[in-house]
Amino acid sequence: MERNYKEILNDITTFVFDVDGVLTDGTVHVSVEGELLRSMNIKDGYALKKAVSSGYKICIISGGKNEAVRKRLSGLGITEIHLGVEDKVTCLNQFFKTHHIDAKNVAYMGDDIPDLYPMRIIGLPTCPQDAAPEVKAISKYISHKDGGKGSARDLIEQVLKVQGKWLND
Report residue 52: phi and psi, to 5°: -60, -50
Is 44 a known ligand-binding residue? no
Give the C-alpha separation, 139 to 45, whole Å: 23
Give 146's Cβ-side CA count (13 Å radius): 8
Is 20 a known ligand-binding residue? yes
Q: How far is CA 163 from the centre of its chain?
A: 18
Is 111 a known ligand-binding residue? yes
Give which of 119, 166, 125 is closest to 142, Cα–Cα.
125
Q: What is the DSSP letter of 22?
A: T
Residues belonging to the binding site for Mg(2+) are 18, 111
Residues contributing to the annotated binding site for substrate = 20
Residue list for the binding site = 18, 20, 111
